[in-house]
A and B are shown apart, each in its own frame.
Chain A
Amino acid sequence: MEPVTSINTKPQTRIGVYVCHCGSNIAQTVNCPKVSETASKLEDVVISKDIAYACSEPGQQEILDDIHEHGLDRIVVASCSPRLHEPTFRQMMQSAGLNPYLLEMANLREQCSWVHLNEPDDATQKAEDLVKMAVSRARLLQPLEEEKLPLTKRTLIIGGGIAGIQASLDLADNGYEVVLVEKNASIGGTMAHLDKTFPTMDCSI
Chain B
Amino acid sequence: MTDVGRHPLIKLHTMSEIVDVKGYVGNFDIKILKKARYVSEEDCTACGDCATACPVVRPDEFNLGLSSRKAIFTPFPQAVPSAYVININECLGHNPVVCAKCLEACEKGCINFHMSDDEIEERVGSIVVATGLEPYDPTELDEYGYTRFENVLTSLEFERLVNAGGPTKGKLIRPTDRRLPKSVGFIQCVGSRSARKGSSYCSNTCCMNTIKSTLVLKEHYPDIDIKVFYIDIRAVGKGFEDLFMRSRRLGVHYLRGLPGNVEELPNHSMRVAVENTVTGLLEFFNLEMLVLALGMKPAKSTRRLQEMLGLQLTSDGFFLEAHPKLKPVDAASRGIFYAGCAESPKDIKESVTQASAAAVRAIRLMHKGEIYTEPITSEIDPEKCTACGMCAEVCPYNAITKGIRKKTPSVVNTAACAGCGTCAAECPYDAIVMNHFTDGQINNQIDSMLEKSSQEKILVFACNWCSYAGADYAGVSRLQYPSNVRIIRTMCSGRVDEKFIFNGFLNGAPVVLVSGCHIGDCHYIDANRWTEKRVKKIRKKMEKLGIRPERLQLEWISAAEGSRFAEIMGRMEKLRQGVSMQEISETIEILRNRGKKPKTE
Partner-B contacts on A (CB < 8 A): 81-84, 101, 107, 109-112, 114-119, 122-123, 125-126, 129-130, 132-137, 139-142, 144-199, 201, 203-205
Contacts and interface: CB of A to CB of B under 8 A. Distances in A.
Interface in B542-569: 566
B242 to A, nearest CB: 8
The 10 A-B pairs with the shortest beta carbon distances in the complex, nearest first, are A163-B340, A110-B475, A186-B79, A170-B359, A166-B355, A164-B130, A163-B339, A159-B130, A144-B375, A122-B483
Residue among A134, A140, A153 with the most chain B CB within 10 A? A153
Interface string B568-599: 00000000000000000000000000000000
A179 B435 CA distance: 36
A154 B436 contact: no
A195 B163 contact: yes
Contact of A151 (B15, B162, B355, B371): B371
B475 A163 contact: no
Contacts of B339: 163-164, 166-167
Given A163-B340, A163-B355, A198 B347 contact: yes
B130 A157 contact: yes
B9 A185 contact: no
A139 B443 CA distance: 12
Contacts of A114: 475-476, 478
B1 A152 contact: no
Nearest to B351: A163
Interface in B158-215: 159-160, 162-164, 166, 170, 208-209, 211-212, 215
A120 B112 CA distance: 74
Contacts of B129: 158-159
B355 A181 contact: no
A170 B9 contact: no
A183 B17 contact: yes
B237 to A, nearest CB: 7
Contacts of B156: 190, 193
Interface in B253-267: none
B224 interface: no
Contacts of A133: 444-445, 448-449, 486, 488
A198 B475 CA distance: 37
B445 A195 contact: no
Contact of A186 (B14, B372, B485): B14
B26 A183 contact: no
The prevalent SS among residues of A at the interface is: mixed
Given A115-B474, A126-B484, A186-B79, A172 B10 contact: yes
A173 B27 CA distance: 22
Contact of B566 (A115, A129, A182): A115
Given A182-B16, A188-B80, A132 B449 contact: yes
B13 interface: yes
Interface in B299-357: 299, 301, 305, 323, 326, 339-342, 347-349, 351-352, 354-356
B439 to A, nearest CB: 10
Interface residues of B, number: 133
A189 B122 CA distance: 23
B376 interface: yes
Contacts of A139: 444
A171 B363 contact: yes
Contacts of A193: 62, 64, 156, 159-160
B126 interface: yes
A166 B487 CA distance: 42
Nearest to B161: A195
Most buried by B among A107, A112, A163, A195: A163
A130 B484 CA distance: 11
Nearest to B452: A129
Contacts of A159: 129-132, 299, 340, 342
A8 B28 CA distance: 37
B341 A199 contact: no
Given A137-B445, A181-B17, A148 B370 contact: yes
A132 B446 CA distance: 10
B127 A155 contact: yes
Nearest to B209: A198
B76 interface: yes
B13 A144 contact: no
A183 B75 contact: no
Interface stretch (B464-472, B504-512, B528-536): B464-472
Contacts of A107: 472, 487
Given A136-B445, A159-B340, A148 B372 contact: yes
A149 B415 contact: yes
A174 B10 CA distance: 12
Contact of A194 (B159, B375, B483): B159
B479 interface: yes
Q: Which of B130, B301, B342, B441 is the most central at the interface, judged by chain A CB atoms within 10 Å of its CB? A: B130
Contacts of B64: 193
Interface string B363-397: 10111111111111000000000000000000000
A196 B4 contact: no
17 contacts: A117-B480, A144-B376, A145-B375, A148-B372, A152-B125, A154-B125, A159-B299, A159-B340, A161-B340, A162-B340, A163-B132, A164-B340, A176-B9, A186-B74, A187-B14, A195-B160, A195-B216
